[in-house]
Amino acid sequence: MAQQPLTPPPDLSGGRHAGLPLGIIGNCSFSALIDERAEVVWACMPRVDGDPVFHSLLGRNAALPQAQGYWSVELEGQTRSEQRYLDNTAVLVTVLRDDAGNAVEITDFAPRFRLHGRQFRPLAMVRRLRPLAGVPRITVRLRPAFNYGALPPAVTQGSNHVRYVGPEFSLRLTTNAPIGYVLAETAFMLREPLAFHLGPDETPEGAIEPLSRDFQERTESEWREWTRRLALPLEWQSAVIRAAITLKLCTSEETGAIVAALTTSLPEAPGSARNWDYRYCWLRDAFFVVRALNSLSEVETMEHYLGFLQNVALSANSHLQPVFGVGLETQLSERIASQLSGFAGHGPVRVGNQAHEHIQHDVYGNVVLAAAQSFFDERLLRRSGIEDFALYERMGELAFHHYHTPDAGMWELRHRARVHTSSALMCWAACDRLARIAAHLGLSAREPYWRKRAEVIRAAVENEGWNAELNCYVESFGGRDLDAGLLLMPEVGFHPGNHPRILSTLTAIEHKLKRGAHLFRYHAPDDFGAPETAFTVCTFWYLDALARAGRRDEARALFENLLSCRNHLGLLSEDLHPQSQQLWGNFPQTYSMVGIINAAVRLSRDWEEVV
C-alpha cells in the first residue's frame, strides 16, 4: 500500500522526562505522576483539574528556588532504578540502587477503600520508604508551590508534621521521619521504615507508619477486588488490566466526570505549541471510556457518569458545549502560566481550554451513545426509563437540527468550520439509538419518529459525505480531504466493516494518513501547520477497521507494535512520532488506553479455545 514519506525524527533532546517514563497513582479524587526516580512531578489539588502543587514536569519557576514543585527521595550515589505496579493495583513501587549495594524501596499510593459503608478516597498521598539492602543514605526534598508555581507556601512545623500553607488551602505532611531533616533537606541514613502522609491540614489518627501500612493493605485489596470483577479477554490480560485501572483513575467518583488526561500542555510534538489542557470532561472522550469499560462488564463508571451527563444535557439550549469542568463548570477560559517554561522547555503552559466555546455537533451522538446501554442493562442499580428518554430526546432534536450545519469537528479546529462527515455520522447515531430505545420502551409513536430522522441523516451522509471521484467518504460534505474519524462508521453501526464503501475508504485512508505503522488524524494543514505526530487512538481505530475487514493477522501485528510503544509501566500518551515511536502529548490519554481494551477484546482468542 502506498504511503506518505516519513518526516525526519524530531529533536527529542532537552528533558529528562522525554519519552514520558512516568507512573500514576490516584484514588478517583486526585492523582499524581511519579517518574522513574520516584520524584513526584505532577499532582493537582484539590482535584485533577486544580492547582498543580507539584508541577516540575512542566518546568520550575526560577524565581522560587525553594518552591520548585516536586517531591523527591534521593539516594546518595544512585546509579539505577526499577519501577513497577503491584499486580492489579494502582500502588507504585520504585527501587533506587547505588553501586555500593545500597537500595531503598519507595511505595506510593493514594488511599482508596470502603470505610463505614462508603468509599474512602481522601485528598492524600502516602509514601512508604524502607531500606531494601545495605544502609542507604537519602535526602527528602518536599517543595510544593501554589498558583502554577507562582507562589511559595508559608511553612510551619510541629513535632511530627509540616504545614505548607497556600492562599486557598493548606497541605500537611505527617511523618515519622525527622522533621528537621525534611525541612533542611539533610541527608540521613535510612535504617527503618518511614512513612509520609501528605494531605489536607488535618491530623491522621494513630501512629503514621502502622496507619500507612494499613491504608496500603486496604487499598491493594480494594483494587484487586475491582479488577477481579472485570470480564477479561483471554489474551493481553495484563495490558487490559493496566488500561482499565488507568481509565478508572481518570474519573471523579464525586461528580461522575471523566477527564481526557491528567495533564496539561504536554506538547503533541516538540516546539509545535500544540499544548492543550486536557484535565476536563469531553463528552466525546468520556463516551469512549464508558464503552470500553462496559465491554469489560465494569458498568459502575457508566452509572456514575450518567449523573454527570444528565446534568450536562439539562444545560443544553440551542447547542451543547463539548467539554465541561469536573464540577460541571462551563467556563474554561484559556490562559498562559508564563512562569513555567513547559515540558522540556516546550511551552506554552496553558490553563483552561478554548474548546468550551466550540460548536461540535458530534457531541449529541456521544451523549446518547453513552447512555444507551443504561436502558437495556438489567444489572444496573437504576436503569434508565421513559423520563430519561425524554431528556435524551432533547439531544436528538439538536442532532437533527444541526447535522448539516458547519462546526469545528471532532478535531476541534479553531479557525475553520465545515459540515464534518464525522459530526453528521454521530448525529445519525443519536437518532438511530433513540429509535432503538423507543422500541425497547414500547413507545410506538417515538420509534418511527426517530427512525425517519435517522434515515434523513443517513441519506445526507451517503450522498454528501461520499466523493465519487475519490471513491471514498471524505472529511466534510462536498470535500476532498480525509480524516481518521471516518473509521468510526463501522464502530457506531453505520456500515458493516466489510461494506464496499468502507473498504474503499479504508484504502484511501491508508494511502493518505498512514505513516509507517501509525495513523495521523488528518493530512491537511491546520491552524498550526501540518501535524508531525500520529494520534494514537486513530491507529487503534485503523486496527479495528482492519479486523472488521477480515485482515485480522495484520490487526494483531499492529496491536503488538502498539503495545511495544507503551512506557515501562504499560501507559500511553496521546501521540507517537511514527519513526522514533516516542511518546508525546498529554498523559495518560484515555483515548489511547481505551484503544488497548478495545483491540484486546476484538482480537483475542476465545476462552473456549483453551478452557
- With bands split at pLDDT 50, 70 and 90, how would you rate the model's confidence at 302? very high
Helix axes of 536-548 and 500-513: crossing angle, nearest 10 degrees: 140
Alpha carbon distance 245, 227 (integer Å): 8
Work out whether strand 118-120 and strand 154-157 pair parallel, antiparallel, or are unpaired: unpaired
Specify the 3-state DSSP secondary structure of 201.
coil
Whether residue 8 has pLDDT greater than 70: no
Note the pLDDT tens digit of each residue in 56-93. Answer: 999 988 787 777 899 999 999 999 999 999 999 999 99
Distance of CA 62 to the CA centre of its chain: 30
Handedness of CA 351, 408, 422, 486 (dihedral sign): negative
C-alpha cell of residue 520: 495521523
**pLDDT tens digits for 113-133?**
999 888 999 999 999 999 999
Q: Which is it for the CA torsion 218, 220, 225, 229, positive or negative?
A: positive
Q: Give the pLDDT band of residue 15 (cuts 50, 70, 90).
A: low
The runs of H, that is alpha helices, within 190-282 are 208-228, 237-249
pLDDT digits (tens, 9 = 90+) for 492-521: 999 999 999 999 999 999 999 999 999 999
- Burial profile 493-526: b = 16 or more Cβ within 10 angstroms, e = fewer: ebbebeeebbbebbebbbebbbbbbbbbbbbeeb
Tens-place pLDDT, residues 355-384: 999 999 999 999 999 999 999 999 998 999
| Cα separations in angstroms, 198 against 29, 72, 124, 255 | 14, 13, 5, 23
The confidence score (pLDDT) of residue 10 equals: 43
Is residue 561 a contact partner of residue 578, using CB atoms and an 8 Å limit?
Answer: no
Q: pLDDT tens for residues 135-190?
A: 999 999 999 999 999 999 999 999 899 999 999 999 999 999 999 999 999 999 99
Looking at every residue in the chain, the average pLDDT score rounds to 94
- The conformational region for residue 550 under phi > 0 = left, psi -120 to 50 = alpha, else beta, is left
Q: Which residues, other chains included, contact 24 with Cβ-Cβ below 8 Å and sequence gap of 6+?
A: 31, 32, 33, 34, 90, 92, 246, 249, 262, 571, 588
Dihedral (CA of 118, 119, 122, 127) sign: positive
pTM higher than 0.85: yes
Cα 300 to Cα 306: distance, rounded to the nearest angstrom: 10
Q: Which amino acid is at 125?
A: M
